[in-house]
Structure 1
């Protein structure tokens, strides 16, 4: 079993490339900017390329010479074309100029190779769902397609891309930027669109400068440039290496299969242990559209009872496919550890240990995916960074490559590659834009992150019960919302009594069915008691969903400490406090769920009017960090209070309780930090048994005074009113 003391790994949420917004490509590169690791070709070859024997490389070079593709100066036809352009002033497109290069590389691969080079930048590759408009100057494609859609002669599919490449004939900064932006964007798109993809490669050429790229969920890096003509063996080695590699070695997941469902939709069959599950619909895939990170994809699935003929089980379950740090426990291990330690670390007499399963989503299976070992062909290994990096690692001190040196704008992004029912669910474009705002505040630049960002990850898969819908989608009146918050409070009490914090409380991680509310997504949960060895030496990494993230966590510093306690005594050097997530932070997220409901749901009778006060409050409390802090900490609340005075009168009492809720959390933050021993706040001092009882009493009070009618999101009420108006008969 993995060490339950989970190491911190920053949650990196790079902006999705699939949203229809201007400048999407350069924004993505900027989120990786200003630099990523740059390693030598030999190091790149050792880490991620299948081995090629010296004899095979020598024979390929000789063959290219015999076919007059190569001479002692380099690639013959490219050199001839360069001379012709210089003498005649003739201009050609990149595709035409570099075509002989890829023709030559294909000539040494042959029909028995795994892949081939295809360079036709005017050709948009087909997707398994809506056409994605994915275009690259050159693609390395599987010779035997994995597409399950009807296919005409010559059609090429995104799902077969092994490497994406972009080409420029010049080497100006703008041209280099253009290459970099395109290759990062296209790799992000392919990785995000295809659940079968574990890692992939990239290639850029500007003039005679060649770069190789590697993209995975844990590492993104490039090889140092080499000269197209002076280092011909490098590119030939790459062609031979990936040309005859297995699909496993090229980054395809052997435990996932794309098939055509009886209704002719592309669907996926995931292997979990000795069972298989077929996808029904996608629940959440947005985070998989970030290059680095845990890349979770969540699907509703049915167990596959029989393949031929296809027979599916009757019970809908949830499948989560994602990556976690290699030395982290799985969610099932975390859940079991919480259950086994309820009331053993911190005591809450009123907790009924036997009802633990009523508050936590049941996990039916949880596995680390096994694939063929890339260092021992006769063995299996966990699908991890250690395996696909062949038990190596990036040099501890390597150069950094700057991705973008100037701006380039692309206005036409690709849409999702996989069928809409699988990859976007029922989200409208407007809803996707709203969701995107949640990621903006946590998008981080790689250069500002610790090297732990590149810590090895392992591929995991979880099968859990269908515990209902996300909290904010299911609830339609305030008494039910408040009852759900009480149940969520009890779930957190179970965790805290066992010495764990959740660290990612949000609407999406709380599921509701009938009168049941269950906590989900324990991947960021962490034991803070007993205090792990050396846990206080450095600050915790930032985790959580931005809208519901505690303000201290967002700022990564304590904000309720008196000035006299921030520094050591005068006869010592001042030592800044290391910041650690504690139990009160989880409870603060509960407050933000409460406030989120207040700003996003209105009484049905007035919701169609879409009062601007609610919109302003939402912007103040969830998009404006200063206003949010002012409301919570207690300073400069005038503008927020002014907006509260404009909300529908049915909500006045609830807003007054929201301020009381904030005051209670604020008091306990201050109480904790008043007893701190600089520069460390110990976890055992952060547990306040009375706080759970106080918050439960407050929620009971709110239920007694809360508006009892139906509440609804204004946009739905407005749409309903418009539809009813159109149905009214016209007279006259």
Structure 2
């Protein structure tokens, strides 16, 4: 199950690259709001510190900590300090003074305390993570004995200087910190942060629909504002700081976080509690804004907190508030399909579903009405936007900025941001995400996604089978709109595979005529598998001129005949076409786009994956035409990687590929492993069928329905059957265990393994295990795909 706009491409990562990708996801600019409105609409306001108590706190703290216009702990500005982090140690003293005053006067203990430890790396479930904030408000009653990201409430970044370079560094790190909080712990619904450059403070907020920043204030000359900020955060409830009270962190087992999760059901006033046993996917959590989808295998708990019933699958996400929920869509799709035999077998069965409620209210991001009030300016000016990359107009800085923008053009997708989507954030108007609602759904079936499968024949058979439920949807007037390798689920039983089509959240009735009145600025779909037209939101195969039924001059107008004799036309009777023919065409998703996504899934497994040949026995050697020497491989693999990047990382080649004259078979022959080259023909046949179908259908784009997709559907069935057989010739079968990027990174030679047909294990010739569990986790998260976290499956290459 994938998330909107997510990616499943595998590319090697480092922390700075991850940060840049997440930073691009936030957008080029974010709303900048009045500090008073930031306090009113975003910061906690249900804590025990009333206005009267706050005045008393200010009086005491300022009397002991503030003198002659300065904080006593800041005798000089941080810019004059020798060491940056030491220059902000005074903030901890101020927070401690607040804590002491509140304890003495009101007998209250803080929820969070301010700490400064810039040289220490907080704990993280990702061992490779070295994120190190300069300071943070951290829970007083911690889950972990040592500082850990799951206990950090409000990370801080400090700079002694307030120049452009320092400000930009703080911004990038803070956006990353907020993303990391929501990615690290499934309980975090939103996150805060704050930055200080010399004396300038900014407060930050990130949720599933927005990232924004407050107006700056001077913490030295505005001491009461600093105290208001500190007391608000220190004495807030954990709910108001972003933790989800309907999820409980279970003590770690084998170093893995598990959760007890409440799911509301309409038939019972008490929620049903499920305990996670295995993380299936956290692809959505790797994107700063969006659905934030996580999927677990779970078991229901009884009143004694013991497992009851069989394993289930729980999906936690943030769908758009104005969209119908997935269970509603699935039920309507099945009703519209009607009594087609075995239709239910192609879809998941819902056991429980409901929106999440916290404190008696549905858990939502800011509704539009609150957004408008939040963005409004107290002085009546137009809403402001803050540049996430502050500009230094010196010549040296301009050159550096140009290099940064160029690097974003080639950014990886560690956070589900491709370079071509990141570049759009730079070139387009800011994207306004729709308000979102926290929702959970539980399915009865436990399957694995196509992302988890490495056997190529199984993958291709599954792609052929999933065309059937897709066709049923199309015939009943529906389009799926999010076909991906993560949304095609499989169960492999011996030599047979069963498929289920999942994630119908964005499925929609086909529109005929004018577009729907409900508009969403964010495209639906998974980037790697999105149809070219859907990504562009424009038709690419329209005829060069739209044919009008009536010739405006008539077939034999005398004026036209007279032109040949030099007669100047006068008083010609012209037929004006009806106004609707002049209306701009509004792009609408149609069934062909779903089928193109199937094609992109197939292309992804053939082009973006490295192969491993599995011999069925020692009696037949590998034929020379299927083998590859280490030297040939070392020459070919970078070329394949470059081709894969052009399609699934940069995206520049995708539009050209959907042109009829594109030489796809030639590229397959040059760049792919010899064992895959025969599959170039069926892959290309489907591509050509798609182009022809688009060209024929877009003569009349207002009336495209499922009939336009029938020729492509037939070609998919034929070509996928051919490809499946070609992927398992005697005497070997093809597996696709890793990405091209990972193979290049590891510089591994292709290993030919031996096994019996009934043995599903794969072991390298040298007897070494494959990637360990942590690498498998990091790799799967980097590519945005589903992964199995247990060590045994990681060793088996899955």
Asked whether the two chains share a fold, i.e. TM above 0.5, the reply is: yes
In the alignment, which of 437, 444, 455 is matched to residue 465 of structure 1?
444
Query: Normalising by structure 2, what TM-score?
Result: 0.74
3-state secondary structure, aligned to 2:97 = helix
Structure 2 distance, partners of 1:692, 1:17, is 32
Secondary structure of 1:579's partner? coil
Q: Is the 8 A contact 2:79 2:161 kept in 1?
A: no
Match of 2:469 among 491, 511, 515: 491
Contact 1:471 1:508 in 2 (8 A): yes
Q: Distance in 2 between matches of 1:694 and 1:128?
A: 46
Q: 1:47 Cα deviation (Å)?
A: 0.5
**Cα separation, partners in 2 of 1:14 and 1:390, compared to 1, 3 Å:** farther
Aligned counterpart for 1:400 among listed residues 375, 385, 402: 385
Moved more, 400-409 or 109-118: 400-409
- The answer (yes or no) to whether the contact 1:324–1:458 under 8 Å persists in 2 is yes
Deviates more, 1:499-508 or 1:460-469: 460-469
Aligned counterparts, 1:508-547, within 5 A: 508-514=486-492, 515-529=497-511, 534-535=515-516, 541-547=522-528
> Partner of 1:675: helix, strand, or coil?
helix
Equivalent residue for 2:734, pick from 711, 717, 720 = 711
Comparing 593-602 with 534-543, greater Cα deviation is found at 534-543
Distance 2:21 2:327 in 1: 36
Report the counterpart of residue 776 of structure 2 in structure 1: none
- Bigger Cα displacement from structure 2, 591-600 vs 329-338: 591-600
For 1:233, what is the secondary structure of its paired residue?
helix
- The within-5 A match list for 1:117-196 is 117-127=114-124, 130=127, 132-145=129-142, 147=143, 149=144, 151=145, 155-196=146-187
Deviation at 1:53, TM superposition (A): 3.4
- Paired residues of 2:9 and 2:528 also in contact (CA < 8 A): no
Deviations 1:178-228 (A, max 9, x none): 221221111111111011111122111212211111111112111101121
Q: Compute the displacement of 1:19 (Å).
A: 3.7
Deviations 1:591-631 (A, max 9, x none): 22233343345654547755647656545554564544334
Q: Please tell me whether residue 321 in structure 1 is matched to residue 316 in structure 2.
A: yes
Q: 1:117 to 1:388 in 2, by over 3 A?
A: farther
Q: Tell me how far apart the structure 1 counterparts of residues 673 and 112 of structure 2 sit (CA, whole Å).
A: 63
Secondary structure at 2:276 match in 1: strand
Is the Cα contact below 8 Å between 2:367 and 2:435 reproduced in 1? no
Q: How many residues align?
A: 664
The answer as to whether partners of 1:117 and 1:139 remain within 8 angstroms in 2 is yes
Kindly indicate whether the alpha-carbon contact (under 8 Å) linking 2:125 and 2:184 is maintained by their aligned counterparts in 1: no
CA distance in 1, matches of 2:4, 2:100: 45
- Using the alignment, how far apart are the partners of 2:363 and 2:91 within structure 1? 36
How far residue 339 of structure 1 moved from its aligned partner, in angstroms, is 0.7
Aligned counterpart for 1:330 among listed residues 325, 330, 344: 325
- State whether residues 81 and 97 of structure 1, in contact with CA within 8 Å, keep that contact through their aligned partners in structure 2: no
Would the aligned equivalents of 2:95 and 2:230 in 1 still touch at CA under 8 Å? no
* Match for residue 565 of structure 1 among 521, 546, 559: 546
What is residue 661 of structure 2 aligned with on the other side?
635
Contact 1:631 1:640 in 2 (8 A): no
Whether 2:600 is the aligned partner of 1:592: answer yes
Kindly tell me: are residues 473 and 720 of structure 1, through their superposed partners in 2, closer, same or farther at Cα, counting changes over 3 Å?
A: farther
Structure index of larger Rg: 2
Alignment of 1:32-181 (within 5 A): 32-51=26-45, 53-66=50-63, 68-71=64-67, 73-78=69-74, 80-82=75-77, 93-96=86-89, 98-110=91-103, 112-127=109-124, 130=127, 132-145=129-142, 147=143, 149=144, 151=145, 155-181=146-172
Q: TM-score, normalised by structure 1?
A: 0.80
- Equivalent residue for 1:504, pick from 465, 482, 487: 482
716-725 or 96-105, larger mean C-alpha shift: 716-725
Extract unaligned runs of 5+ from structure 2: 265-270, 377-381, 392-396, 402-410, 553-575, 615-621, 739-747, 755-762, 769-798
Between the aligned partners of 2:24 and 2:715, the Cα distance in structure 1 is 46
**Separation in structure 2 between the aligned mates of residue 181 and residue 540 of structure 1, nearest angstrom:** 25
How far apart, CA to CA, are the structure 1 residues paired with 2:80 and 2:21? Answer: 35
Q: Is the 8 A contact 1:47 1:392 kept in 2?
A: no
- In 2, are the aligned partners of 1:469 and 1:511 still within 8 Å (CA)? yes
How much does 1:401 deviate? 0.8
> How far, CA to CA, are the matches of 2:706 and 2:715 in structure 1?
18
**How far off its partner does 1:466 sit?**
3.8
Matched residue of 1:453: which SS? coil
CA distance, structure 2, for counterparts of residue 328 and residue 182 of structure 1: 33
What is aligned with 2:694?
669
Cα distance change of structure 1 residues 536 and 220 upon mapping to structure 2, 3 Å threshold: closer
| Separation in 1, partners of 2:79, 2:326 | 63
**Aligned-pair RMSD on alpha carbons?**
4.0
SS at match of 1:303: strand
Residues 29 and 184 of structure 1 are in contact (CA less than 8 Å); yes or no, is this contact kept in structure 2? yes
Alpha-carbon distance change, 523 to 562 in structure 1, aligned in 2, over 3 angstroms: same
Hey, what's the Cα distance between the residues in 1 that align with 2:433 and 2:416? 26
Distance, in Å, in 2 between the alignment partners of 1:91 and 1:538 is 47
Match 1:551 to one of 532, 555, 576: 532
Question: 2:30·2:385 contact (CA, 8 Å) conserved in 1?
Answer: yes
Is there any run of 5+ residues in structure 1 with no aligned partner, and where? Answer: 1-8, 344-351, 373-379, 410-431
Kept after mapping to 2: 8 A contact 1:617/1:644: no
For 2:61 and 2:521, locate their aligned partners in 1 and report how far apart those are by CA, in whole Å: 55
Shift of 1:471: 2.2
Aligned counterparts of 1:447 and 1:493: Cα–Cα separation in 2: 38
Distance in 2 of aligned mates of 1:224 and 1:355: 58
The alpha-carbon deviation at position 22 of structure 1 amounts to 4.2
Counterpart position of 2:766: 726
CA displacement at 1:332 relative to structure 2 = 0.7
Per-residue deviation, 1:229: 2.7
Aligned to 1:696: 717
8 Å Cα contact 1:620-1:627 kept in structure 2: yes
SS in 1 for 2:156: strand
Pick closer, same or farther for the CA change 1:608–1:368 going to 2, 3 Å: farther
Give distance in 2, aligned partners of 1:391 and 1:625: 34
- Are residues 1:237 and 2:228 paired? yes
